[in-house]
Amino acid sequence: MTGLSVHTLTRRIDLFTLRLFLTVIEEQQIRRAASRESITPSAATRRIQDLEEVAGIPLFDRFPNGMTPTAAGDVLARHLRLMFAGLDVMRGELAQFTEGVRGHIGIGSTSTIIVHFLAREIAEFERDFPLVDIELYEDANVNVINAVVAGNAEMAVFYDSDDVDSETLDIVEYRTDYLVAVVPRGHPLGERASVTTADLLEENVIGISPSTSMMKQLRNAATALGRELREKYSVGTMDAARALVRENLGVTIHPESMVPREDFDKVITVPLDEPWAVRRICVGTKRGGVLTAATKAFIAQLTRP
């Protein structure tokens, strides 16, 4: 077709006109084709004439009772049918993303939440959505939040605490966990119904990585009392901290859910009577951001009753 280029075609002719062209071929009449496409016959006529002008050659043979495609029209129709079939395939593949069937979710969370909650949730989600690729980041509470704000992750699962800037996130609650004191069996604090920050400061405190939100909260609570948190020992994991408690070397704090049942022959947990001991585990996404269907599906799983 002389004079027809892809550049000219895409600049001057829209997909609706190309679809109308195929409909005219099927109906062999402008009026019926216009009715099918819900436009006026005069508008349909102008669109077909514009298409022929761009093609530089007649696309229809016109008769008193209708119209049929020319040889050039047949060639154009054949390629347009292939193009629209490709668009249908593309639409189907994109629908898989919008329906959450496939996609990618970057999730940041703390080791505590991953171990006790998130690992199980991810395994369940991947069984239901095997074509969704989940990339998991483990880091400190504030770092996983910053990753979402910076656009390096789609969502964070984190402990709500004083150092969380809630203005930067859209937040929904996931679970509630509680901090407890972990003390050796036979320790005087083990006889108490609850303990406070002041009680812990009188003991040999076993600190866990200072970047953890619970240690920051304990440190802040000590400062609010005009005291300084002095750690007898400082270790990197809760497992190591409990090992020291089992040997009667001090006391520590843990999320209640993270004390394994097998440790209760040597340690005991005591509720921590502090407002900050009630810990909301939240799901955060970037404030005002558009969530993918895959991300929405995972959040729906986390927050369902």
Domains of the chain with CATH codes: 6-97 (1.10.10.10), 102-172+283-303 (3.40.190.10), 176-279 (3.40.190.10)
Report the C-alpha gap between 243 and 158 in whole angstroms.
26
Full-prediction pTM beyond 0.85? no
| Residue whose C-alpha is closest to residue 60's, from 46, 43, 74 | 74
CB 9 within 8 A of CB 20: no
Per DSSP, helices labelled H in 99-234 are: 111-113, 119-128, 141-149, 197-201, 213-224
CB 251 within 8 A of CB 161: no
Q: 207 has which bridge partners?
A: 234
> Which pLDDT tens digits describe the chain residue by residue (305 residues)?
445 667 777 778 889 999 999 999 999 999 889 888 888 889 999 999 999 999 889 999 999 888 999 999 999 999 999 999 998 888 777 666 656 667 899 999 998 899 889 999 999 998 888 889 999 999 988 899 999 999 999 999 998 877 677 788 999 999 988 899 999 999 999 999 999 999 999 999 999 987 788 898 999 999 999 999 999 999 999 999 999 999 999 999 998 888 888 899 999 999 999 999 998 999 999 999 999 889 999 999 999 87
Q: How many residues does the chain have?
A: 305
